[in-house]
Amino acid sequence: MSAAVSVCGALVTHPAPPRATSGRRARGGARVRSSVAMASSAADTSVADEARVPALAVFDLDACLWNQEMFQLRVLVDRENPVMGPLTPGGDVGVVGARSGGDIIKLHPGALHALQRFHAGDYPGMRCAAASSADTPLAVSIGRSALDLLEVVPGVTVREVLAMGFPEGFEGNLQIGRTPPLSSNKAQTHFPFLKRETAIPFDKMLFFDDCNWGDHCAAVGNGCREKASGLGPVTVRTPRGLQVADWEEGVAAYQKRRDAARAN
């Protein structure tokens, strides 16, 4: 099954220098990397524009970024007993699974692919965010504990990769839950908060969501539009979880819309 990509409201089916880090090094001596410089220039999307990539890639978590639904789990992940395995084509070993009771939380292949390419600096000027409507405080806590344990490359966690390009301690790019001021409606809360916190316009975002519990992609694409362009985020439905083809098709759809807009 191919991904459904929404561009300009139509549904189409398709088969700068790093900021300084704190000095902490990942296992094996690798330093956590940053793809763009700073916080004060959050609204400057010129680097991403020049590279023809979204300024903000936004991921739903449950059943999209990873395989599990947090509302079905009951305990925080076990930090002392991670699932280890190969993370890279070369066989570099890292944390590939987070145990929550008898369940294991794992990134979908496309999520790992996207985050590894982002971490490697393949998308200049882009940053990443999460928009999840996890339905209970426990579900939110389990999800955040998984972000803190699962790794993208050995020694570098998903949370650390999502933090790249933002100031130390910034979490405005992590809109997780539905406890007020958040809600179950991502178009009304999560995305307006992401725009406010990052100063990145809706029409420079790319959003992935499984949409198995409601069409968040349609709601966000239609409900979060910039007045000047009339455009919202490019959205991609991932009913089987984020696969490599979904990520690549989403980036390509964003580039196609950007190029068309600049040609007009």
Residue 149 buriedness (CB in 10 A; 0-12 / 13-18 / 19+): buried
**Domains of the chain by residue range:** 45-263
Model pLDDT for residues 106-142, shown as the tens digit of each residue: 999 999 999 999 999 999 999 999 999 999 999 999 9
Model pLDDT for residues 142-156, shown as the tens digit of each residue: 999 999 999 999 999
Tell me the pTM: 0.85
Q: What is the pLDDT of residue 5?
A: 59
- Average pLDDT of the segment spanning 36-53: 72
12 pLDDT above the threshold of 80 = no
158 pLDDT above the threshold of 60 = yes
- Give 127's strand partners: 56
Closest CA to 109 of 249, 250, 252, 247: 247
Its CATH architecture, for the domain 45-263, is: 3-Layer(aba) Sandwich (3.40)
Closest CA to 61 of 137, 126, 118, 144: 144
HSE value, Cβ hemisphere, 13 Å, CA-based, for 199: 9
